[in-house]
Every structure is written in structure tokens, then in C-alpha cells.
Amino acid sequence: MFTTLSAPRVWKLTKRALAYLFVSSSALLFLIPFLWMLSSSLQTEQEIATTDMRWIPETFHWENYVNVFEAMPLWTYFQNSIFVTSLFILGTLLSASLVAYAFSVLRWPGRDKVFILVLATMMLPMQVTMIPIFVLYKNLGWLNTFKPLIVPAFFGGGAFNIFLLRQFFLTIPRELFDSARIDGCSEFQIYWRIVLPLAKPALATVGIMTFLFTWNDFLGPLIYLSDKMKSTMALGIVMFVGQHKTEWALLMVASVIMMLPVILLFFFFQRYFIRGFMMSGIKG
């Protein structure tokens, strides 16, 4: 360790120290909103509405975490969110993998051109289709039900997910398919028995990212649901804001509760989160 402290050596160490300092203070800054939210969630309305910053609440009002369920039907919102999210993930995984299979494993005329069309749809701003789809759902009688939030997942599950899965499927050795075909397997069997099991990591990634999207989604429920009891958490929390007097403490509590599954999931499945985002950076 105690080698000669030459000038470049000192500089290098200083650089590291500075970097450390910078990163840690930035990390602290980044943590502050969370800490503030947690702290606020454990105070009462009166305590919150004072101008002195109080980091550690005098008394920890754990009862806020119980009261919030009376202030709004949070449990119902939670259930609705789980319901919508899990079905959406199911639909996405099924249909995106089917479609991705066609664009990667199968060979057929026009395949690449159609794929470009798929990619192009990613560029479409949702505003253009928002109103006609709304009218469509009205005509189908699906407004104020969960169907608009779930059914589209079964129709391809989003160009992005198709793209991701296709990238992964392309890495599977072709020999596996060829030998399966020779053995007389239908394409669907290949898909179901070979590709899907092999693609578990990619599917997990898509599943996680879809979870994030749906769990956090607010616009869909906002537009399609009018029944208070059908709201998801995202929408439910919003409705809590901007009542005559916003109850900040309870709002913070609801936010913490909504964030919890996401953070838990992150800690368990970090790998897939990171991979998912990284894979989106690799452009074919």
C-alpha cells in the first residue's frame, strides 16, 4: 500500500475521493424526497403544516397507515391494481411472445417489412388514437369496465416487448428448431415446449417492465373508468389530491403503499430490471 506517492498517484486518489464525495452527496440528495415522504407519512396533518422542517417526527403516527384505509378505499384500489396488472402481464407475455416468434424463428415473405411497421407504431403518439378508441369502447359497452385496460394486452402487447423478445429469440441456436421440426413438432409445439422455457429470463424482463407500466399507469384508468370503486391505485391516489383540503399525511401514506410493491419487486428481481433497460439500448 505504501508505495511512492507520486504526483499522478495523488491526483488519482484525489479524483477517487472527490468522485466518492460527489456520488455520496448526490445519492443523499436523491434519497431526500423519499425520506421526506416517509417522515411526512408518519406525522399528523397539524404537525405537517408547520414551517420548521422536522425530519424525525416527534411521535411516529403509525396509525396513519391504518387510517388511510378508511379515508379512501385503498384496499379496493390495491385489489383492482393487482387484478388489472396481472391480467395485463399475462396477455402481454402470451401475445408478444407469439408475435416475436413469428418475427424471429419463422421465415416468411415480407417478414422484415412488416417488422418495420411494428416498430413504426412505437412512434405514434397515443393522442391520435385516444379518442377513437374511447368511442370504440363506448360502442362496445366497455366503458367503466376493466376490459379497456386488459384486452389490448392480448393483441401483441406492445411493439417494444415484441422487439425485446425477438432479440432474445434470435439468440437461440437454430439447430434446436431444425431438429425439433425433423422430429415432427409443429411450430406451436416448438414455441411452447422449447422457446418459452428457454426464454424465461427474457419473459421475466418483459413481465417486470409490463408490471411497471401497468401498475403505474394512470391515464388509462383516468379515461376509461368513472366508478370510484373501480379505480386502480394510481387513479385513486390522484382523486385524493385536490379535494378541498389535501390531506398530505395520508397522501404520503398512500404513496408509500403504492410504491412498496415496485420497490420490493426491484430488490428481488434487480437483474431483470437492469437487463430490460439495457436491452432497450441495443438497437438492431
Partner 1 sequence: MRSLVDKILGPHRHDTLIAWLFVAPWAIGFLIFGLYPIVMSLYYSLCQYDVLRVPRFIGLENYQALLFEDPYFWKSLWNTLYYVVFRTPLSIFGSLFLASLLNQQLKGMPIFRTIFFIPSIISGVVLSVIWLWMFNPEYGLINSGLAFFGLPGPLWLQSASWSKPALVLMSLWTVGGGRMLVFLAALQGIPKHLYEAVELEGGGWWTKFRHVTLPLISPILFLWTVMEVIFSMQVFVEAYIMTNGGPANSTLFFNLHLYNKSFNDFQMGYASAMAWLLLVITLAVTWFQFRLSRRMVYYEGGN
Partner 2 sequence: MREWIIRAGYVVGLGAILAFVFLGAPKEVVYTDGKIHFDYWYNVGQEDVIPWPVIAFNASQDRIVVHPVAIPWQESEKKILTAVISGDPPSLVSQFVPLVKWASRMALRPLDNFITQDNFDTGIFFPALMDEMMYMDRVFGLPQATAAYALYYNKDIFREAGLDPEQPPRTWDELIQAAHAIDSIDADGRIQRMGYLPDWDNLLPSIMQTSLLMAWELGATLLSDDGRTAELDDPRFAKSLQWIVDYYDDYDIKRVRAFRGTFGYDTQHCFISEKVGMFIGSNFIMDNLQRYRPDLDYGVTTIPTHELGGPTASPAGVFWYAIPRNAPEAEAAWEFMAYSTQAEIQLEAMQHTKENLFPSNRIAAQDPIFQDDPYMKIFANQMNHAHSPAVVPLAHEVFWRELNMNAVDLIIDKTKTVQEVLDLANAQVQRELSAALEYQDYVLSIMHFETEEETP
**190: contact with partner 1 by CB under 8 A:** no
b/e burial code for range 179-200 (CB count within 10 A of at least 16 → b): ebeeeebeeeebbeebbbebbe
* Interface pattern 244-263 for partner 2 (x via CB under 8 A): x-------------------
- For residue 185, state whether it binds partner 1 (rule: CB under 8 A): no
What DSSP letter does each residue of 38-93 carry, written as one string? HHHHTS-HHHHTSSS--SS-SS--TTHHHHHHHHS-HHHHHHHHHHHHHHHHHHHH
**Of 50-58, 73-81, 163-171, 181-189, which part binds partner 2 (CB under 8 A)?**
73-81
86 interface partner picked from partner 2, partner 1, none, CB below 5 to 8 A per type: partner 2
Indicate which single residue of 108, 112, 183, 284 sits in contact with partner 1 (rule: CB under 8 A): 108
Q: Of the two residues 27 and 241, which places its CB atom closer to partner 2 in the complex?
A: 241
Residue 87 binding partner 2, by CB under 8 A: yes
Asked whether position 155 contacts partner 1 by CB under 8 A, the answer is yes
7-11 own/partner pairs: CB under 8 Å, 24+ apart: none
Q: Is 222 in the site for partner 2 (CB under 8 A)?
A: yes
Question: Shortest distance, CB of residue 237 to partner 1, whole angstroms?
Answer: 5
The answer to whether 143 contacts partner 2 (rule: CB under 8 A) is yes
Structural contact between residues 148 and 87, judged by C-beta atoms closer than 8 angstroms? no
Using CA of residue 146, residue 152, residue 155, residue 158, what is the dihedral sign?
negative
Which among partner 2, partner 1, none contacts residue 60 (Cβ within 5 to 8 A by kind)? none
Site for partner 2 in 146-185 (CB under 8 A): 146
**Cα 91 from Cα 80, distance rounded (Å):** 17
Q: Find which of partner 2, partner 1, none residue 62 binds, CB within 5 to 8 Å per kind.
A: none
One of 243, 260, 274, 278 touching partner 2 (CB under 8 A)? 243
- Given a contact cutoff of 8 angstroms between Cβ atoms, the answer to whether 105 and 175 are in contact is no
**What are 139's three cell numbers?**
360502442
Q: Which is nearer to partner 2, 54 or 200 (CB)?
A: 200
Query: What are the grid coordinates assigned to 137, written together?
Result: 369502447
